[in-house]
């Protein structure tokens, strides 16, 4: 059974039709939208500040969402995929974004809509990623604009697949 715990009297709130894996952890000031999924060994720690998650968001295996005490919060838009073992810390991620496997997004970053953060990328503190591009590397930099084909073929495809995968466990 998943670990879902209050912190300082504030309990996580999950939307409708969400899947939370049996060994996922969600604690504290976390509000999750509808049709979300939190996968095996993922951790969402709203213990030191708030985490807000939109609709149709998937937090894949081993990913960590956290904040900085009294400084930064996490805000995820709709149709966001957080890849396996990614770290999303104290930042804002707008709609239709793919954060690749093992990527790190640090405090005070803002990730624009229709964007891909490549696997293994490190988006350093305070980076503003414009809408409609791909960022890659360490530190992450813009490598190209994103095509509508990639938006449909990667961002939307992965979000839709995770909605399907989560249905297998219900």
Alpha-carbon distance of 61 to 41, in angstroms, equals 6
Q: CA-CA distances (angstroms) from residue 115 to 30, 39, 65, 136?
A: 24, 22, 19, 11
Instruction: Work out the percent of the chain whose per-residue pLDDT is above 90.
Output: 95
Domain that holds residue 87: 3-167
CATH code, domain carrying 99: 2.160.10.10
Average of per-residue pLDDT across 107-135: 98
In this predicted structure, what is the pLDDT of residue 150?
85
pTM, 2 dp: 0.97
Tens-digit pLDDT profile for residues 84-104: 999 999 999 999 999 999 999
Evaluate if residue 133 carries a pLDDT over 90: yes
Provide the domain count of the chain. Answer: 1
Residues 111 and 91: beta-carbon distance below 8 Å: yes
């Amino acid at each position: 059974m998943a670990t879902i715990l209050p912190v300082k009297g504030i309990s996580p709130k999950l939307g409708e039709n969400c899947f939370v894996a049996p060994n996922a952890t969600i604690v504290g000031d976390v509000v999750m939208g509808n049709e979300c999924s939190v996968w095996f060994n993922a951790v969402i720690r709203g213990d030191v500040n708030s985490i807000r998650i939109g609709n149709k968001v998937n937090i894949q295996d081993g990913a960590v969402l956290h904040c900085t005490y009294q400084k930064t919060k996490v805000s995820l838009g709709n149709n966001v995929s957080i890849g396996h073992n990614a770290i999303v810390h104290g930042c804002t991620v707008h709609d239709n974004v793919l954060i690749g496997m093992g990527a790190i997004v640090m405090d005070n970053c803002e990730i624009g809509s229709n964007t891909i953060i490549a696997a293994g990328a490190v988006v350093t503190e305070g980076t503003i990623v414009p809408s409609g591009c791909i960022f890659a590397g360490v530190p992450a930099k813009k490598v190209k604009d994103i095509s509508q084909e990639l938006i449909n073929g990667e961002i939307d495809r992965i979000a839709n697949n995770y909605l399907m995968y989560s249905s297998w466990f219900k």
